[in-house]
Amino acid sequence: MTFFEAEATPWPSKAYATRLIPDTGTLAGDLTALLWGLVDEFHAPAAAAALPGLLADFAADPVLKARIRSDFLGPSKERLLIVFERAVTRGEIAGDTPVDLVLDTLAGAVFFRVGLVGEHPGPQLAGRLAAVIAKGIEIR
């Protein structure tokens, strides 16, 4: 799904949501800001300890799966849609950039490092990962 195909938003309005998403002026900067929040959430001791068991629970429990999709993935996707819309307007990426695949890549990389490897990443992970993704999806 691309950001042009997404319609629903969990916020009262798109204008409200847009004010909550940092606008650094670049795709890499905006992704870094979003990723730092994700890294920070996963880095919390309780979250880091729960991540490995969450995979098994997620696969076995449809209620948990639905809750994670609505409470975590849905809002994350909406934030990424806003970042992508800004990047398209600035001419940094194409309008058909696959939001779902980019979100999976970003969350998967953070989850892997924190939940499976047991790393305790700092802000440098957010910046490095954002730079790699931004470079990979930029218009050439």
Model confidence, pTM:
0.76
What are the structure tokens assigned to 125, written together? 């992970």
> b/e map of 21-32 (b: 16 or more CB within 10 Å)?
beeeeebbbbbb
Q: Could you tell me which residue, 34 or 8, shows the higher pLDDT?
A: 34
What are the structure tokens assigned to 55, written together? 């995979």
Sign of the torsion angle spanned by Cα atoms 73, 90, 30, 32: positive
Look up residue 95 and give its DSSP letter.
T
Encode pLDDT of 81-111 as tens digits.
Answer: 999 999 999 999 999 999 889 988 998 898 8
Tracing tokens 């429990």 back to the chain, one arrives at 61
Indicate the pLDDT class of residue 68, thresholds 50, 70 and 90: confident
Nearest to 23 by CA among 99, 86, 77: 86
H-helix or E-strand containing 84? helix 74-89
Encode pLDDT of 17-52 as tens digits.
Answer: 555 788 999 999 999 988 888 787 776 777 777 777
